Chain A
Amino acid sequence: MSGIKVILDKCVGCGLCLKVCPTQAITLEDKKAIIDLDACTLCGACIDSCKFQAIEIVRQTIVKDDISAYKGVWVFVEQRNGVISSVVFELLAKARELAKDLNTYVGAILLGYGITDKAGELIHRGADKVFVIDSQALQHYISENYTSAIAGLIGKYKPEVILAGATTTGRSLVSRIAVSIYAGLTADCTGLDIDKEKKILIQTRPAFGGNIMAQIICPNFRPQMATVRHKVMPESDNDPSRKGEIIKESFDVNNQDKRIKFLDFVKEAISTVNLAEADIIVSGGRGLGEAGNFKLIEELAESIGAAVGSSRACVDAGWIPYSHQVGQTGMTVCPKIYIACGISGQIQHLVGMQSSKIIIAINKDADAPIFKVANYGIVGDLFKVIPLLTKKLKESPKELANKD
């Protein structure tokens, strides 16, 4: 039977595990840790805290089917109107690495309507095989229809690994696929490696808004599925001489889910650069004082080809739409550079941006928590600092915008 136990010989009663248990399931009796199994959620926090390896989780495992039959590292190709999302090229680069370690091929799953001619681009970017389903029923992304189409491909071709972007589309889609085929899925990975001995995927992801990292494996189920955070991994190169195979499959319209209909897509006019795709984000906070001052942020963003973000305070005050909110109840972003202006850095904001590669903070309060996560910072009046910065960056000879 699966469960958790304290190895009494090893437990010294130090009590470290009591402090990390999120459900207060552990008590000390006679200097030994006792776990209340009704309160324990088997989260494993105590195991990592124990310096004496005195707690272990016993895991009875089931093996679903012959996992050796599964080959290939697949990437879900997210596209809108035939424009492939840049996260796909990041996934293809990672897939090539993983496929090399697993000694297998890279597959791309391309679904849509009138998109077959995009297969070549995917081959140039690293796919060995492109599985294409070109059907009017798949013109717009609908989770239910995409799930049944891809589940069909998985059943037929048995891939070992499937990667998708951790986008609104990717996360909604692969959650459905994983459940429908009973496969393991890890969300929002920032690291993917192959355990070279066991030939399994090691998935690293942040939890608690990046305060902790978890490594997750899926040894007994196939395919091993993961969504991958945008902008963490480099894109694959475009090599027009690469050769690959295009495999055309069809979508059975009888499988189309009639209960859900796509009506329209409305592009939000205010955002010139979208937050998830941006290499640089300039965010404004309460320190801006009023809605009109967001133009300082917009000007700075424009001068360096950045997207505009915001703290929760400004969204709640109605200064800027919710789609710009970064943080716990908004978006999690991880651009190459994040510039926080007039944002004090409450934990709810930090969890949404602290994985950014470089953080620059501008704030008048030298003790603001944002400076603790900042690589660079200016303590000063943002109404003076931001216009100066905008001016100097415009003058800077380097090409600062997205270099793609």
Chain B
Amino acid sequence: MRILVCIKQVPDTTDVKINPETNTLIRDGVASIINPFDMYAIEEGVLLKERFGGEVVAITMGPPQAQEALREAISLGVDSVIHLSDRVFAGSDTWATSLILAEAIKKIGDFDLVICGKQASDGDTAQVGPGIATHINLPQATYVRRIDTIHLDTSPQIMVVERLLEEGYELLELQLPALITVVKDLNTPRLPSLRGKMAARKVEIPTWSNKELNISEDKIGLKGSPTQVVKIFTPPQKESGKIFEGDPEEATTKLVEEIKDIL
């Protein structure tokens, strides 16, 4: 199986702090990590490779520092990586980002499965995975929590997945090649191996700019993005709450008194 995994480098949320004076996000010295959901995508790719043989390729779009995420992916068992970086990609919204990733995937070619995390922890949109699937015209399953079966010896090749919904899950059968976005329940991501860490240090990371992808600049970056962010602001801080301490009997009575009208 040839599996492509799309990952994103995001700021580590555990580090996110608000400057109380300016009420803005402090990003100074915030560590960058692989988007948490993408860790499950990488692990699933590596598990499938271990089961069926083949190769896992991780791709990311982002500024030069995003290469760190690709190195980490190598340390986790990914075979090769591709970095998409170009000034003309900057400012892309989910429409344009999914186009750039889709064009890269088409250029890589010859794959059986594309795996993405269900959403990124910074933007939280969950739009890029289905966007890629649409640009390439692949069948998709979002919020996959389990791959039940894969038949590579049938024609067409098929897989059955469990798609996690609000009130249960559904079973979908997809023809390969397909795209899935995954949730946490799928697996337990491994830690980097020593061999993986060595490989990550040595790996040469190819960077593709738009010269390689040759996408019309009318469709990417700020210009090609239908949406525009006009304002970013920090939500007003909550007033401090009413906290009761001491005797549980008394404290619960006071709490019930406070909340009985709002329940």
Contacts and interface: CB of A to CB of B under 8 A. Distances in A.
B229 A328 contact: no
B222 interface: yes
Interface stretch (B13-21, B44-52, B107-115): B13-21
A49 interface: yes
A62 B95 CA distance: 15
Given A268-B168, A374-B241, A381-B248, A217 B130 contact: no
A185 B11 contact: no
Given A42-B90, A42-B91, A379-B243, A212 B223 contact: no
B263 A280 contact: yes
15 contacts: A38-B85, A59-B223, A168-B163, A185-B227, A210-B235, A211-B16, A212-B232, A260-B139, A261-B172, A261-B174, A263-B173, A322-B145, A323-B185, A328-B36, A385-B252
B184 A207 contact: no
B154 interface: no
Given A185-B227, A337-B259, A378-B243, A24 B91 contact: no
Interface string A164-195: 00011101100110111011111110000000
A62 B44 CA distance: 40
Given A275-B166, A328-B121, A358-B262, A185 B241 contact: no
A21 B235 CA distance: 19
A378 B251 contact: yes
A104 interface: no
A111 B5 CA distance: 33
Given A143-B130, A214-B232, A266-B168, A57 B222 contact: yes
Interface of B: 11, 13-14, 16, 18, 22, 24-28, 30, 36-37, 62-65, 85, 87, 90-91, 93-95, 98-99, 121-131, 133-135, 139-143, 145, 156, 160, 163-175, 178, 183-185, 218, 221-235, 238, 240-246, 248-249, 251-253, 255-256, 258-263
Contacts of B122: 207-208
A195 to B, nearest CB: 10
A186 B65 contact: no
Given A213-B232, A380-B251, A143 B224 contact: no
Contact of B252 (A20, A325, A372, A389): A389
A144 interface: yes
Interface string A12-29: 000010111111110000
Contact of A176 (B140, B246, B256): B140
Most buried by A among B141, B145, B169, B255: B255
Contact of B168 (A45, A57, A261, A267): A267
Contacts of B13: 208-209, 328, 347-348, 351
A366 interface: yes
B185 A322 contact: yes
Contacts of B64: 38-39
Contact of B244 (A49, A216, A257, A379): A379
Given A143-B140, A267-B168, A396 B91 contact: no
A379 B252 CA distance: 10
B228 A219 contact: yes
Looking at chain A's contact residues, the main secondary structure is mixed
Contact of B241 (A16, A259, A375): A375
Interface range on chain A: under 10, 10 to 19, 20 to 34, or 35 or more? 35 or more
Contacts of A328: 13, 36, 121
Given A213-B234, A217-B230, A329 B126 contact: no
A40 to B, nearest CB: 6
Contacts of B27: 19-22, 45
Contacts of A11: none
A398 interface: yes
Given A259-B156, A262-B172, 9 more contacts: A42-B91, A62-B218, A62-B224, A175-B131, A179-B131, A184-B226, A261-B174, A266-B171, A378-B248
B223 A373 contact: no
B163 to A, nearest CB: 8
Contacts of A347: 13-14, 16
A168 B142 contact: yes
A171 B127 contact: yes
Nearest to A22: B27
A184 B93 contact: yes
B230 A45 contact: no
| 4 nearest A-B pairs in the assembled complex, by CB-CB distance | A184-B226, A42-B91, A175-B130, A187-B125
Contact of B223 (A60, A182, A329): A60
B251 A385 contact: yes
A378 B244 CA distance: 5
A207 to B, nearest CB: 6
Contacts of A175: 94, 126-131, 134
A206 B121 CA distance: 11
Highest count of chain A CB atoms <10 Å: which of B18, B91, B123, B131: B91
Nearest to A304: B263
Contacts of B131: 175-176, 178-179
A390 B253 CA distance: 11
Contacts of A172: 126, 130, 140, 142-143
Contacts of A393: 256, 263
A392 to B, nearest CB: 5
A378 B223 contact: no
B175 A167 contact: no
Contacts of B156: 259
B63 to A, nearest CB: 4
A60 B166 contact: no
Interface in A317-364: 322-323, 325, 328-330, 332, 336-337, 346-348, 351, 358-361
